[in-house]
Amino acid sequence: MIASVLPTYNRAPLSFTLGEGSWLTTDDGRRFLDLGAGIAVNALGHAHPALVAALTEQAQRVWHVSNLYRIPQQQALADALVANTFADSVFFTNSGTEAAELAIKMVRKYWHDRGEDRPTILSFEGAFHGRSTGAIAAAGSEKLTHGFGPLMPGFKVLPWGDHDALDAALDESVAAVMIEPVQGEGGIRPLPDPCLKGLRAACDRTGALLVLDEVQCGMGRTGRLFAHEWSGVAPDIMMVAKGIGGGFPLGAVLTTEAAGAPMSAGTHGSTYGGNPLACSVGLKVMEIIADPAFLAEVTRKAGLLRQKLEGLVAEHPDTYTEVRGLGLMLGLQCRLPNTDVTAAARDAGLLVVPAADNVIRLLPALNIPDEDLAEAVIRLGQAASAMTQA
């Protein structure tokens, strides 16, 4: 008999009843140090007092109104995003997948309105843009697409890091290039700054739009508000979600005026997107994370964690082989199977998230205390010892 919850997840045998900062407590009273943060969602940890206050204050006023009306909280969050990024305009969604869908629609509408036939969006192996029909077609991997054909046409998936393949593919038939500045599900693979610069220049040569998926690497995760800022170039369109809601479902598409203007009244919509609850929380998250002093702290903590992880790899080469990533978006490539390492870490009271390329992801809350970072590395060491002694 099928489970009452559709069995699309292999779930760990844990359920949490309380979250405080970077710690989660189970129903039977065990405490876990959370370095997964709901997969980069709980960017300010669990139950951050300022977010709890923002949510509960708004909850006592009005939860939901339709986008048929003006929503001041949505307006305020859009203004904050526009003031702090490349963007001129923002559309709010409830998830990263919805943001990816809109980004794809925007690219198509942009070229439609210019009267040019540009059927192809270039994307990259190892990408993850969500689970909708459009998003799985964009990523293209067998793992995501198997059994779900016919796939939505209009994507060409290129090898990661193959400049010649990109040069050959990027012609006047290309509407846009879609890429994560740091691949998350793909195994924490950062796109080097010169590559993002080169990609921007290549797009400019043919007019193709540059679409960045910062759903996982954005919102302060790498130590800048958005990861592309490290390279000094800006996209035309950007998807955001995960951290922007700090745990409340919220996503967004940020766009330049040129790429956004074709989306006139009636071309797109969302019942829940940009609702007062989500935007009240999102505004508070933005206020905290966009502060340069906060971002500097992320970079300092990231340096600390990275240094400790390098030590861990040196000490446990039979378990861990390499540290990679940017800011507090770090991956540990494993010699032993990453799912076994994830389970061993769990046994040591530490939550991490597996990714492709036999990597475990460390995506702590951006405000995690230094002592919790130190404790996490101790527990990764304990996990390694337990595995190699077993």
**Terminal-residue alpha carbon distance, the chain:** 36
Kindly tell me which residue out of 95, 231, 319, 342 binds ligand PLP, with binding defined by CB under 6 A.
95
Stretch that binds ligand PLP, among 52-60, 144-152, 212-220, 322-330 (CB under 6 A): 212-220
Count of helix runs (H) and strand runs (E) in the chain: 13, 17
Footprint of ligand PLP on 26-65 (CB under 6 A): none
Between 110 and 128, whose beta carbon lies closer to ligand PLP?
128
Footprint of ligand PLP on 264-293 (CB under 6 A): none
Question: Least distance in Å: CB of 216 to ligand PLP?
Answer: 3
* Location of structure tokens 């971002």: 295
Residue 198 to residues 30, 87, 192, 202, 324, Cα–Cα distance (Å) = 49, 21, 10, 6, 22
Question: Least distance in Å: CB of 133 to ligand PLP?
Answer: 13
Closest residue to ligand PLP, Cβ-based? 96
Kindly tell me which residue out of 202, 211, 241, 377 binds ligand PLP, with binding defined by CB under 6 A.
241
> Could you list the active site residues?
128, 213, 242
Residue 28 to residues 31, 37, 349, Cα–Cα distance (Å) = 9, 20, 14
Footprint of ligand PLP on 162-181 (CB under 6 A): 180
Between 242 and 316, whose beta carbon lies closer to ligand PLP?
242
d(CA 109, CA 126): 26
128 interacts with ligand PLP by CB under 6 A: yes
Between 95 and 319, whose beta carbon lies closer to ligand PLP?
95
| DSSP character string of 203-232 | HHHHTPEEEEE-TTTTTTTTSSSSGGGGGT
Stretch that binds ligand PLP, among 123-131, 313-321, 343-351, 359-367 (CB under 6 A): 123-131
C-alpha gyration radius of the chain: 21
CB under 8 A, 24+ apart: contacts of 146-150? none
Interface with ligand PLP by CB under 6 A: which residues?
95-97, 100, 128-130, 180, 184-185, 213, 215-216, 241-242
